[in-house]
Structure 1
Amino acid sequence: MNSVAFYLLLLLLTSAATSTTATTIGVTYTTSTSSPLSPDKLAAKVVSMNIPSIRLLDSNPTLIRAFAYTNVSLFLSVPNPLVPLLASNRSLAMRWCYRHVLPFYPRAKISTISVGNDVVSYSPDVSPFLLRAMQNVHLSLADLRIYKISVSTTFSFFNIVPTAFPPSSAQFQEPNGEVIIRPILQFLERTNSSFLVNLFPYNMYRSSFSIPVGFALFEEGPFNFRDDLTTGVRYRNLFDMMVDAVISAMAVMGHENLPVVVAETGWPSSGIDGGEVDATLLYSEMYLKGLLGHLRSGGGTPLRREGVAEVYVFELVERDDDGKRGVRNWGLLHRNLSSKYGFEFSGCGGGGGNGRRFAEFLVVVMVCLLM
């Protein structure tokens, strides 16, 4: 084998091994109000499960401190009631950063701050304050010479994208699209931040009788697909279809290249009442297995080959009120931190499976040619 051929093969091997971007797969966690877990115990459990990232829905400083030196990436959240205060008073935004970021960073790997969570739905009167609050948090971090923490806000798919099919025709719901989302997209573009969205295929499946449950659960089957006739793309799972609807809606506003982070996703293991017959432990496990397998494959979505940047499973530990009448049951773990499912969440750092397998094939080819 001559040197030129060897060089070309080595170049192909390198590009194949790095061409597929891995999706970071994390979890969300909400502190229990009645019987909170020890922060150190929680951090130790996350580390033992090899979970690379956790979203702390209530960014308690003691929790943040517990993850120092663990190499677990932290996704912090600013509660909705604080958004108008941070928007109106820059010093309060600085004070929040002083309390939740400065004492721990970079020993704790804080990567993202979401200013508010689904504000458009839960606190619509707070929505006009979102952008200013985000700007004040971003400027406060810059004043502290902290430049690598992304500042964004989290939207709920169902409250911003009224029609998900076909994905190529999706647009943000008005008037929030122009008034709230467009300026935020511009901010995210300027600051190299990501678009954060809570995305639950379970909700869309329940809202449409035409969606087969297998399509929502990543199952292969003769009817588990949907064709976007505009683009000619075939969707084989509901998750990809919803992600591409978000990407299309951003493209309409000229921001199709923004990274997308799925801040919450999951499937409940029990429903609010007996009418939710598909909220079962079996379907919950099937969704999670299908999701993790799909993300680890590194295939991305039809409109974005690199897929989403991060995905957070809702949620790590079931809460005290989970399973009670009128409340859906979530959680990978029971309150005693034992697993609810028959599979391991370990090794969920990401995809790239196809790229790695191709790279391994090329190694074999190269060895054969060199013999």
Structure 2
Amino acid sequence: MNSVAFYLLLLLLISVATPPSTTATTIGVTYSTPPSISPSSAALSPDRIAAQVVSMKIPAVRLLDSNPSMIRAFAYTNVSVFLSVPNPLVPLLASNRSLAMRWCYRHVLPFYPRTRITIISVGNDVVSYSPDVSPFLLRAMQNVHLSLADLRIYKISVSTTFSFFNVVPTAFPPSSAQFQEPTGEVIIRPILQFLERTNSSFLINLFPYNMYRSSFSIPIGFALFEEGPFNFRDDLTTGVRYRNLFDMMVDAVISSMAVMGHENLPVIVAETGWPSSGIDAGEVDATLLYSEMFLKALLAHLRSGGGTPLRKEGVAEVYVFELVEKEAKQGVRNWGLLHHNMTSKYSFEFSDGGKGRRFVEVLVGFFVEVVMLCLLM
């Protein structure tokens, strides 16, 4: 075999083995420990939940209650873990640096880096559920960030999670979106400055279902990623055509950040989904069929790597709410990917099963064999 042919084969092998420069969004799930203790709840041990996440090939999980036993269960799994500080603790962590250090000692230090903790959200939708706590958010975030630095932990980002519905009053057109005032100026602007300084991400709970229910002008197909003659919205200011509600809401967040001079901050969707049942009979669109349609289309859209019109790389991570349904109760929406007995509710696989990776592996194997045969000639 001549040297030119050999090097051509070698270059082809390298090009196939090298991953593409753009990667699709990381897609994870949320999980919180069931609030009540019952025989069925007890069966959902941390080890069982971690094993389920690994078996479903889910690369990231958001632990809404940051149970230390659950954090430990994800050690050595290669699943990235997103922790949350409960809202009632926010004022305490803000007022007392030693308490922030104590929280890190209990929830981070014993497990990191064996457990791949990547993000800590200080509070979850505090503006909505605990408005009196909002003024403490930034100081609590700073104290947690400084505590991690004191522990020589520098690769865990610190942020807080907002709810789209409570901080972005107008989603359309996205180019005109701004954060709700006075929350935007008083609470969000200084937090954006902190996130910029610390290379952290803006976290948002974003549910197209809620936006769809709030406006009669939004077709169900637009919310479910369906192609159709009426399933689009045009932003006349930018000339952009939106073909799904999810992208429109993401771009409304990006535009709102841009108004405050932080349009380049990474965005993580900390919660999203579509309920399979509603609180009452009036929620006619909270069905298993629509839930499955939304989730399948969302996963396909995110895996395509197409991003949104205002951000070609798209959002960095998306967490589907939620992994396991709570025990059935009247008047509670069901969102889980799995029933409480851990059986799947849906006919599709949440993970793509590494099909793209296996395809590359097959190609690499083929070219390795070709090179070896040529060397033997």
**TM-score using structure 2 length:** 0.89
- The answer for the alignment partner of 1:128 in structure 2 is 135
Q: Which of residues 181, 195, 206 is equivalent to 2:202?
A: 195
Alignment equivalent of 1:176, drawn from 179, 183, 192: 183
1:18 corresponds to: 20
Amino acid at match of 1:245: A
Letter of the aligned partner of 2:222 in structure 1?
Answer: F
Alignment correspondent of 2:62: 55
CA deviation profile, 1:149-189 (whole Å, cap 9, x unmatched): 01000000011000000001100010000000000000000
Choose the corresponding residue for 2:326, options 312, 319, 322. 319
What residue in structure 1 maps to residue 316 of structure 2? 309
Partner of 1:157: 164
Aligned residue in 1 for 2:101: 94
Corresponding residue to 2:352 among 347, 351, 362: 347
CA shift digits 1:31-77 (9 cap, x unpaired) = 00224410011111110000000000000100000110111100000
Mapping 1:292-303, distance limit 5 Å = 292-303=299-310
Q: Partner letter of residue 106 of structure 2?
A: R
What is the CA–CA distance in structure 1 between the aligned matches of 2:35 and 2:268, rounded to whole Å? 27
Give yes or no for the alignment of 1:40 onto 2:47. Answer: yes
Partner residue in 2 for 1:335: 340
> Which of 223, 235, 245 is 1:238 aligned to?
245
Distance 1:217 1:328 in 2: 18
- Cα distance in 1, alignment partners of residues 61 and 356 from structure 2: 18
* Paired position in structure 2 for 1:284: 291
1:271–1:329: 8 Å Cα contact kept in structure 2? yes
The 1:348/1:244 distance shift into structure 2, 3 A limit, reads farther
Aligned position for 1:116: 123
Q: CA deviation at 1:19?
A: 3.3
Paired amino acid for 2:140 = A
Distance of 1:279 and 1:351 partners within structure 2: 33
Between the aligned partners of 1:73 and 1:98, the Cα distance in structure 2 is 19
Aligned to 2:226: 219
Local SS of the residue matching 1:113: strand
Q: Given residue 185 of structure 1, which amino acid in structure 2 is its aligned partner?
A: L
Contact kept, 8 Å, 1:295 with 1:350, in 2: the verdict is no
RMSD of equivalent CA atoms: 2.7
Deviations 1:314-359 (A, max 9, x none): 0000012x4x32211110000110000001112378999xxx99xx
1:20 maps to a residue whose letter is T
DSSP-derived class of the 1:107 partner: coil
Q: Which segments of 5 or more consecutive residues in structure 1 lack a partner in the other structure?
A: none
**Residue type matched to 2:345 in 1?**
K
Deviations 1:181-214 (A, max 9, x none): 0000000000000000000000000011110001
Q: Which residue of 2 aligns with 1:147?
A: 154
Where does the alignment leave 5 or more consecutive residues of structure 2 unmatched? 371-377
The aligned counterpart of 1:30 is 32
Q: Distance in 2 between matches of 1:298 and 1:94?
A: 38
Deviation at 1:91, TM superposition (A): 0.0
**Contact kept? 1:23, 1:350, Cα under 8 Å:** no
How far the C-alpha of 1:21 sits from its partner, in A, is: 2.6
Q: Secondary structure at the match of 2:81?
A: strand
Provide closer, same or farther for how the CA distance between residues 226 and 153 of structure 1 changes in structure 2, counting only shifts above 3 A: same
Query: CA shift at 1:22, angstroms?
Result: 2.0
CA distance 1:250–1:232, change in 2 (3 Å): same
In 1: Cα distance, 2:338 partner to 2:91 partner:
35
Normalised TM-score (structure 1): 0.90
Cα distance in 1 for partners of 2:355, 2:113 equals 23
SS of the residue corresponding to residue 221 of structure 1 reads: coil
Given the superposition, is the C-alpha separation of residues 295 and 308 from structure 1 closer, same or farther in structure 2, using an over 3 Å criterion?
same
| Greater C-alpha Rg | 2
